[in-house]
């Protein structure tokens, strides 16, 4: 399988792993520490790259995928935790007019609207601040909370009492319970004055207004917040005993009538073209606005349509954030370093003359692979154009000096870590080290992958600790992780290691003696076996020994075993061959068997939501009158069912609308239960 610009599954898996780690780190820096190291544009581009790869390789979606998370956990916060009654979601991003047009078209398709039906949207500027939810009961503010991870935030009630934009009591007729959600921000002028005062006092300067606002609001001592000029703009709501309007725009007008500030640029747009025009209009006003914005937010105006559209993993289908484009800059490639990844892939990284792009100094850029270097004609000393945009961040856009008469860059044909031969497999662009477990880079990377959050998730075994223990010869293979208790006396007393920290680490290791089988399989780093594929395999075979037995039979030419593997959704010849190749190598089998002497993963059994169709395969056919086919499939998946496109012996339920043809006949011939759309609606209603 190939993906973006001919990328193979192995390269995609590696990049998804790196992106998950990078994004998780930047989430912590941004949401928990209020100390971001990159611009919003760079962060957006990392997320966009992750989404692009997941769309091209759905079988590689990781358990710790950034697409499944909102914000960041707040376990280390000094502030009290507050659960959100209604989850605080994020928004999907768009970076072009075409994506906005497709968003509107997607809404039409999902709702099964005719081509001439008006789809009214709201559009407003996207404040670059800190999300906050204000809970009012009987019109009085009783609690304020940050977004946190979307499900649990931090209690900042005492702090927001010092923000004059936030009324303690709402004016007018207010529902018994109503949560107003918006952004706490700092105006540009106030930020400049604050930093001037910080500099005069010899204190640390804030990087930008958003950072200043977040750091000011998330103070344990509310008196510190009181000294900071914070403001608030509402953009929506959460839990509500009643909603005062039938449209997004009407409710926002009512919130404004309660004396809560809303954006003065909030408008209704009757067409996709009007949405694009409003984006451009806001863009021209951006430099003169008193606060920082990073885009425009669109929302379907009708609330009943919002309810039907629902949500995906962490974002509503009815909302979209159109981001402003990032910047470009020129710099020089001063060197090219080659890094070796977990699967042996050699990745060239350009060392740059430091350059400021979008407010952040860039010193390195990935050059991806040998072919990309050849395509751009890159050499040390070339002057390049660097871009931080929505595709790949950072990215070399153009080589300005490729015509200069200098020798081409010679990509290494031996591994820089172990000096083993480095070759590209047939049909692949990636050059890989052939050293395998002999290569120290691959061994440590595989150990890091095994203990990562998406795999065994062993707390305390970070990159530094793995490198340290590997250097001592204590971690040579995965099974050695579970033998660390034998090294306790040697670990205690080392720099940074005391009795308690060692015991905590060993306890974390012991807690994984019966790991989730799919996580363990994914953690082994078998080529082409991502987190989703690992789960799909274990759903079928339940235990790791059973999976191994089928893979070995398939490798040996057993047609039935091969057919069984290939019948699993998401498992193609590439995955089947990778499994067979893994178990065909004696050193892999030795690692596998050694590890299974230390751990005992229980059978893999998936629990589904309780509903009348949970675990069943459902087929929708004919014309659906109250919803689109996409909406129906989304409902089925939400109820724990699988939606199939064709009727077969595996089908257990057919939902037939008017005009149902061959599928209905086939269902009757196979004796499959058939219901109408109204009966399906009752099943959905009964499941809650």
pLDDT digits (tens, 9 = 90+) for 178-222: 999 999 999 988 988 888 888 788 777 777 788 888 888 888 788
Contact between 395 and 404 under an 8 Å Cβ cutoff? The reply is no
Closest CA to 571 of 521, 537, 606: 537
3-state DSSP assignment of residue 336: strand
Residue tagged 């675990």 (tokens)? 615
Contact between 565 and 550 under an 8 Å Cβ cutoff? The reply is yes
pLDDT per residue as tens digits for the range 618-651: 999 888 888 877 678 778 877 888 877 788 888 9
Q: What is the pLDDT of residue 1?
A: 40
The conformational region for residue 89 under phi > 0 = left, psi -120 to 50 = alpha, else beta, is: beta
Q: Is the pLDDT of residue 660 over 90?
A: no
Q: Whole-angstrom Cα distance, residue 145 to residue 411?
A: 53
Q: Whole-angstrom Cα distance, residue 255 to residue 302?
A: 17
Taking the chain, what is the end-to-end CA distance rounded to the nearest angstrom?
A: 40
Residue 324 CA: distances (Å) to CA of 98, 211, 280, 287, 444: 14, 19, 10, 12, 40
- What is the per-residue burial (b if ≥16 Cβ within 10 Å, else e) of 213-242? bbbbbbbeeeeebeebbbbbbbbbbbebee
Q: What is the pLDDT of residue 124?
A: 97
Work out the number of other CB atoms within 10 angstroms of the CB of residue 330.
13
Token pair for 310: 């629902």
Q: Whole-angstrom Cα distance, residue 676 to residue 454?
A: 41
Closest CA to 47 of 530, 363, 393: 393
Residue 592 CA: distances (Å) to CA of 517, 584, 586, 598: 13, 12, 10, 10
Contact between 373 and 409 under an 8 Å Cβ cutoff? The reply is yes
3-state DSSP assignment of residue 344: coil
Bond from prior residue into 86 cis (ω within 30 degrees of 0): no
* One-letter-per-residue 3-state SS of 467-511: HHHHHCCCCCCHHHHHHHHHHHHHHCCCCCCCHHHHHHHHHHHHC
Order of strands, edge to edge, in the sheet holding 360-366? 360-366, 346-357, 328-340, 383-387, 395-399
DSSP letter string, 211-265:
HHHHHHHT-SSHHHHHTS--EEEEEEEEEESS-S-SBHHHHHHHHHHTT--B-TT
Q: What is the pLDDT of residue 73?
A: 52
Q: Most confidently modeled of 231-235, 449-453, 681-685?
A: 231-235
Q: Is the pLDDT of residue 258 over 80?
A: yes
What domains, with CATH codes, occur in the chain? 4-68 (1.10.287.610), 81-323 (3.30.470.30), 517-596 (1.10.150.20), 617-686 (3.40.50.10190)
User: Which has the higher per-residue pLDDT, 603 or 224?
Assistant: 603
What mean pLDDT do residues 106-118 have? 91
Residue tagged 């707390």 (tokens)? 459
Closest CA to 310 of 633, 75, 624: 633
Token pair for 431: 């050059």
Phi and psi at residue 361, to the nearest 5° = -85, 125
Q: Whole-angstrom Cα distance, residue 685 to residue 681?
A: 6
Q: What is the pLDDT of residue 137?
A: 95
What mean pLDDT do residues 365-378 have? 92
Separate counts of helices (H) and strands (E) for the chain: 24, 22
Q: What is the pLDDT of residue 31?
A: 62
Work out the number of other CB atoms within 10 angstroms of the CB of residue 142.
12
The two beta strands, 319-323 and 293-300, are antiparallel
- The active-site residue, picked from 126, 323, 616, 642, is 126
Q: What is the DSSP letter of 150?
A: S
Q: Whole-angstrom Cα distance, residue 226 to residue 164?
A: 10
Residue 282 CA: distances (Å) to CA of 114, 123, 126, 285, 300: 30, 10, 10, 5, 19
DSSP letter string, 376-401:
HT--TT-EEEEE-SSSSSSEEEEETT
How confident is the prediction for the chain on average, in pLDDT?
A: 86
Q: Whole-angstrom Cα distance, residue 299 to residue 140?
A: 28
Q: What is the pLDDT of residue 6?
A: 59
pLDDT more than 70, % of the chain = 91
> What contacts 37, CB < 8 A, 6 or more positions away?
26, 29, 360
Active site residue 126: yes
pLDDT per residue as tens digits for the range 459-512: 889 888 998 998 899 998 899 999 999 999 999 988 889 999 999 999 999 999
Q: What is the pLDDT of residue 433?
A: 82
**Residues 632-640: contacts with CB within 8 Å, 24+ apart?**
632/680, 634/310, 635/680, 635/684, 638/310, 638/609, 639/609, 639/611, 639/612, 639/613, 639/614, 639/683, 639/684, 639/687, 640/608, 640/609, 640/610, 640/611, 640/613, 640/614, 640/615
Residue tagged 């500027």 (tokens)? 125
Dihedral of CA atoms 582, 583, 585, 588 in degrees, nearest 10, equals 80
Q: Whole-angstrom Cα distance, residue 386 to residue 399?
A: 9
């Amino acid at each position: 399988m190939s993906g973006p610009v001919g990328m193979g599954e192995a390269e995609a898996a590696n990049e998804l792993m790196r992106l998950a780690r990078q994004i998780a780190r930047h989430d912590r820096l941004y949401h928990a520490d209020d100390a971001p190291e990159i611009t919003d544009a760079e962060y957006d581009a990392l997320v966009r790259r992750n989404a692009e790869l997941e769309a091209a390789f759905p079988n590689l979606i990781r358990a710790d995928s950034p697409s499944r998370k909102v914000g960041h956990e707040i376990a280390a916060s000094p502030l009290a935790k507050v659960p959100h009654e209604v989850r605080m979601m994020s928004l999907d991003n768009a970076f072009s007019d075409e994506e906005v047009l497709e968003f509107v078209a997607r809404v039409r398709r999902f709702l099964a609207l005719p081509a001439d039906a008006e789809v009214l949207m709201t559009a407003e500027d996207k404040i670059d601040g800190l999300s906050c939810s204000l809970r009012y009961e009987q019109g009085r503010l009783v609690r304020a909370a940050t977004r946190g991870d979307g499900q649990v935030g931090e209690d900042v009630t005492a702090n927001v009492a010092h923000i004059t934009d936030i009324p303690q009591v709402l004016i007018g007729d207010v529902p018994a319970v109503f949560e107003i959600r918006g952004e706490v921000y700092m105006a540009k002028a106030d930020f400049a004055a604050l930093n001037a005062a910080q500099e005069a006092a010899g204190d640390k300067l804030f990087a930008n207004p958003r950072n200043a606002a977040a750091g000011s609001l998330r103070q344990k001592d509310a008196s510190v917040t009181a000294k900071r000029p914070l403001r608030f703009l509402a953009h929506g709501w959460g839990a509500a005993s009643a909603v005062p309007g039938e449209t997004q725009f009407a409710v926002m007008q009512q919130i404004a009538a309660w004396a809560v500030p809303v954006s003065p640029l909030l408008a209704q747009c009757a067409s996709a073209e009007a949405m694009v025009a409003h984006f451009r209009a806001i863009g021209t006003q951006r430099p003169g606005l008193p606060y920082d914005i990073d885009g425009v937010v669109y929302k379907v105006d009708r609330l009943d349509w919002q309810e039907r559209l629902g949500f995906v993993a962490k974002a509503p289908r009815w909302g979209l954030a159109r981001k402003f484009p990032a910047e470009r800059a020129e710099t020089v490639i001063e060197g090219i370093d080659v890094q070796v990844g977990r699967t042996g892939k050699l990745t060239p990284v350009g060392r740059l003359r430091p350059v400021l792009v979008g407010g952040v100094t860039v010193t390195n850029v990935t050059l991806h692979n040998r072919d990309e270097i050849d395509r751009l004609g890159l050499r040390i000393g070339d002057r390049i154009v660097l871009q931080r945009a929505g595709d790949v961040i950072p990215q070399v856009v153009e080589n300005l000096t490729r015509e200069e008469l200098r020798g081409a860059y010679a990509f290494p044909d031996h591994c820089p870590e172990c000096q083993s031969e480095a070759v590209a497999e047939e049909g692949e662009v990636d050059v890989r080290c052939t050293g395998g477990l002999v290569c120290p880079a691959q061994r440590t990377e595989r150990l890091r992958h095994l203990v990562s959050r998406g795999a065994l998730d062993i707390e305390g075994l970070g990159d530094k600790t793995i490198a340290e223990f590997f250097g001592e010869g204590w971690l040579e293979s995965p099974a050695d992780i579970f033998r660390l208790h034998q090294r306790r006396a040697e670990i205690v007393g080392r720099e940074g290691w005391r009795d308690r920290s060692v015991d905590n680490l060993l306890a974390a290791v012991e807690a994984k003696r019966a790991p989730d089988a799919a996580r363990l399989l994914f953690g082994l780093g078998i080529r082409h076996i991502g987190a989703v594929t690992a789960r799909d395999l274990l759903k079928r075979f339940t235990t790791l020994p059973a999976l191994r037995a089928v893979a070995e039979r398939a490798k040996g030419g057993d047609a039935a075993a091969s057919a069984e593997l290939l019948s699993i959704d998401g498992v193609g010849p590439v995955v089947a061959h990778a499994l067979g190749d893994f178990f065909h190598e004696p050193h892999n089998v030795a690692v596998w068997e050694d590890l299974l002497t230390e751990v005992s993963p229980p059978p893999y059994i998936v629990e589904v939501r309780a509903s009348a169709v949970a675990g069943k395969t459902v087929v929708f056919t004919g014309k659906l009158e109250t919803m689109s086919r996409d909406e129906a499939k989304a409902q089925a998946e939400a109820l724990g069912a699988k939606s199939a496109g064709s009727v077969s012996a595996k089908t257990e339920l057919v939902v037939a609308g008017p005009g149902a043809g061959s599928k209905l006949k086939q269902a009757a011939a196979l004796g499959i239960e058939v219901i109408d759309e109204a009966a399906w609606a009752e099943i959905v209603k009964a499941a809650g």
